[in-house]
A = this chain, B = another copy of it.
Amino acid sequence: MNAPLSSLRRPLPDGFLAALQTRCGAAVTTTQATLDHHGKDESWHGTAAPDVVVYPQSTQDVSDIVRLCASHCVPVIAFGAGTSLEGHVLAIQGGVCMDMTRMNRVCAIHVEDLDVTVEAGVTRKQLNRELHTSGLFFPIDPGADATLAGMAATRASGTNAVRYGTMRENVLGLTAVLADASIVTTGGRARKSSAGYDLTRLLVGSEGTLGIITELTVKLYPQPEAIAAAVCAFPSVDAAVRTVIQTIQIGVPIARCELLDALTIAAVNRHSKLSLREAPMLFCEFHGTKAGVAEQSKMVQDIAREHGGMDFEWATLQEERSRLWQARHDAYPACLQLRPGSRAVATDVCVPISRLAECIAATNEDIARASMPIALFGHVGDGNFHLVILVDPENSADLEEGQAVNTRVVMRALEMNGTCTGEHGIGFGKMDFLEMELGSALPAMRAIKRALDPQNILNPGKVVLPDEPCRMA
């Protein structure tokens, strides 16, 4: 499907590494194990190691490194937790990997304004730990414990998006280093603004190809007075999906609403030592006042019963709730264990909710016909679901079949006016799909890429290809 990863590499220019070491000292490493670690993500896409890894500690460091890369025309790839799923961080043209994890300070918690400013490498769990005593929380939770800048760069979401939105809605402003090494601030801390082009939203989801996010301010939310979580088993995936659709359509402000099919439940039971009924299940959570939570959960339980759902089983204690949601977040690694040694082709379509039942039903036919195990789960309240297609990465027939299933699911979603990716992003794995989905807009995307990164040094080969390769200005 893609050219061999190694074919695009170019050697580092003479003098570059020495100049980088002069500037950054011990923060530079070329140890092979470190390079390899930084040349892959959690997807089935292979490894493409960078030539060098550097650990900046400040926005100024990032700017200086980018300036050096620009003057030598060397690719530079920002790296957070390395948990992307479409090859986003692979150094397919070689160059510098900038590991942002040492920029991990929570800079300022503004309790009264319900926002926080963090450095790029702060992870979502770290942030919530540091918020613990503030009475506030940050809701966006992709499965992995990703970094906030990585989440912004892929426009990530997770289980709470149905109520709290995605990174698109929750980043107030950010600081980024552009390809010319300039340091830009794209917004302040006002809740809304009509001041100029929305560079915040342009950088959110740009996957490190337009700028490197070094700091960001995100919205926080008051810890709800009451939280209730429940699981509910259904006679079929369709019954569970129809429950969700009705819940969304009548406007219940449900906080989390996750579908797991029977195979996923089996995987989760084994991985997280739970004993859930191995049937299609919804994991739900309700946030609000005590009365509000009681009212919401009664409404959803009533809808579920209409569709043959069982009684809610409540996770009452916070510890039980944490265990439940950790299990949900671990669904991806849990599924990988269904077939030892496998990697996953992960689909990520999102469709208008009116088409969700039909989309999942047709996809279940694909699953039934496939030769490998395929688990289905996802954020169905948003119309977003994943397949975890378990492939043997050494077996090309397997890879081909996995990709064919992925393609069929994407084509189906696009026909339904949906998207090929609800939250994982394009990386280089979905560039063809992006063209199918938004082909008319691609020339504009390329023009923006060329305007902001004329040398094509920022994470080259991802999202869109400008017309020309990485080159000296």
Q: Could you list which residues of chain A lie within 8 angstroms of chain B, going by C-beta atoms?
A: 110, 112-115, 154-157, 161, 165-166, 168-169, 178, 182-199, 201-202, 204-206, 210, 221-222, 224, 245, 248-251, 253, 288-289, 291-292, 295, 348, 350-354, 382-384, 413-414, 417-426, 430, 433-434, 437-438, 440-445, 447-452, 463-464
Shortest Cβ distance from A115 into B: residue = B352
Cα–Cα, bound, A249→B434 (Å) = 40
Would B189 and A417 count as touching, CB distance under 8 A? yes
Would A205 and B198 count as touching, CB distance under 8 A? yes
Cα–Cα, bound, A187→B295 (Å) = 35
Would A197 and B169 count as touching, CB distance under 8 A? no
Write out the residue numbers on chain B whose beta carbons fall within 8 Å of the beta carbon of A424.
194
Cα–Cα, bound, A199→B210 (Å) = 13
Among B183, B292, B383, the residue within 8 A (CB) of A190 is B383
Contact A195 B421, CB 8 Å, known A295-B289, A352-B190: yes
Contact A352 B110, CB 8 Å, known A194-B156, A195-B421: yes
Would A113 and B353 count as touching, CB distance under 8 A? yes
Write out the residue numbers on chain B whose beta carbons fall within 8 Å of the beta carbon of A157.
192
Would B190 and A445 count as touching, CB distance under 8 A? no
Write out the residue numbers on chain B whose beta carbons fall within 8 Å of the beta carbon of A354.
110, 112-113
Would A205 and B197 count as touching, CB distance under 8 A? yes
Cα–Cα, bound, A193→B383 (Å) = 11
Tell me, rounded to whole Å, the shortest Cβ–Cβ distance linking A231 to chain B. 23
Shortest Cβ distance from A443 into B: residue = B182
Would B156 and A418 count as touching, CB distance under 8 A? no
Among B192, B204, B291, B443, the residue within 8 A (CB) of A291 is B291
Would A168 and B184 count as touching, CB distance under 8 A? no
Protomer copies: 2
Would A350 and B452 count as touching, CB distance under 8 A? no
Would A195 and B419 count as touching, CB distance under 8 A? yes
Cα–Cα, bound, A106→B114 (Å) = 37
Among B114, B184, B351, B452, the residue within 8 A (CB) of A440 is B184
Shortest Cβ distance from A206 into B: residue = B197
Would B194 and A441 count as touching, CB distance under 8 A? no
Write out the residue numbers on chain B whose beta carbons fall within 8 Å of the beta carbon of A183.
440
Q: By CB atoms of chain B within 10 A, which of A190, A248, A295, A419 has the most?
A: A190
Shortest Cβ distance from A354 into B: residue = B112
Write out the residue numbers on chain B whose beta carbons fall within 8 Å of the beta carbon of A423.
192, 194
Tell me, rounded to whole Å, the shortest Cβ–Cβ distance linking A127 to chain B. 18
Given A191-B352, A194-B424, A196-B441: 7 more A-B contacts, CB < 8 Å: A155-B193, A190-B352, A190-B384, A193-B350, A194-B421, A194-B425, A221-B251
Q: List 29 A-B contacts (CB under 8 A).
A: A114-B248, A115-B352, A155-B198, A182-B440, A184-B441, A185-B441, A186-B438, A188-B419, A190-B350, A190-B352, A190-B419, A191-B352, A192-B382, A192-B384, A194-B423, A195-B419, A195-B430, A196-B205, A196-B437, A197-B202, A197-B448, A198-B201, A198-B204, A199-B444, A201-B202, A222-B251, A288-B292, A291-B295, A292-B295
Shortest Cβ distance from A117 into B: residue = B417
Q: By CB atoms of chain B within 10 A, which of A112, A194, A420, A447 has the most?
A: A194
Tell me, rounded to whole Å, the shortest Cβ–Cβ distance linking A422 to chain B. 5
Write out the residue numbers on chain B whose beta carbons fall within 8 Å of the beta carbon of A224.
251
Would B197 and A463 count as touching, CB distance under 8 A? yes
Cα–Cα, bound, A383→B190 (Å) = 7
Write out the residue numbers on chain B whose beta carbons fall within 8 Å of the beta carbon of A245.
112
Contact A192 B161, CB 8 Å, known A210-B197, A291-B295, A292-B292: yes
Would B197 and A222 count as touching, CB distance under 8 A? no
Would A445 and B199 count as touching, CB distance under 8 A? yes
Write out the residue numbers on chain B whose beta carbons fall within 8 Å of the beta carbon of A182.
440, 443-444
Cα–Cα, bound, A352→B444 (Å) = 34
Cα–Cα, bound, A157→B193 (Å) = 10
Tell me, rounded to whole Å, the shortest Cβ–Cβ distance linking A427 to chain B. 10
Would A193 and B250 count as touching, CB distance under 8 A? no
Write out the residue numbers on chain B whose beta carbons fall within 8 Å of the beta carbon of A449.
197
Contact A444 B184, CB 8 Å, known A195-B437, A418-B189, A434-B196: yes
Tell me, rounded to whole Å, the shortest Cβ–Cβ distance linking A151 to chain B. 11
Write out the residue numbers on chain B whose beta carbons fall within 8 Å of the beta carbon of A444.
178, 182, 184, 199, 452
Cα–Cα, bound, A222→B204 (Å) = 29
Contact A195 B250, CB 8 Å, known A245-B112, A292-B295, A450-B451: no
